[in-house]
Amino acid sequence: MRMQWNLGHDEAQAAIEAIRRELVRRNQAAVIAVADAAGELVALLRLDAAPASSIAVACNKACTAARLRRPSRVLGETLRAKGVDIAWYGDPRFTGWSGGLPVIVNGSVAGAVAVSGLTEDEDVALAAIGVAAIGGTAPGA
């Protein structure tokens, strides 16, 4: 039997709170999404002044990172290199934008943390803060 690690409410809250504190410190607003190992939403926070359009994007970044077990930007890079449309993957929730990071715990992907609403580099850096708050690691952060 294979044991599957999965992010839960406590881990999601730790990630969200760490990222929220950093956003407040920077006087910025964004949307933070945390997904479980299956890419399903565990928790979401939209800070005041964060664009509403970033809600779905953050959720999709987290889903992509968890399900594909790699940073969401890798899908975008792969598709651009191959000249393939994202619809080829067959899942409308997949996205190739940066900002979604898988959370590795004991060698397994336990979920993902994603941020949307800022530049791609800022989104990735903030998501990495959330991953660190959980105690996991994130490839390509």
pLDDT digits (tens, 9 = 90+) for 49-61: 999 999 999 999 9
Distance (Å, whole) CA 38 – CA 50: 26
Q: Residues in the chain with pLDDT < 70? A: 1-3, 82-90, 137, 140-141
Using one digit for the tens of pLDDT, what is the confidence trace for 98-118? Answer: 999 999 988 889 999 999 999
pTM, entire model: 0.91
Tokens standing for residue 24: 């407040």
Question: Domain extents for the chain?
Answer: 9-134
- CATH fold of 9-134: Beta-Lactamase (3.30.450)
Answer yes or no: are the C-beta atoms of 107 and 93 closer than 8 Å: no
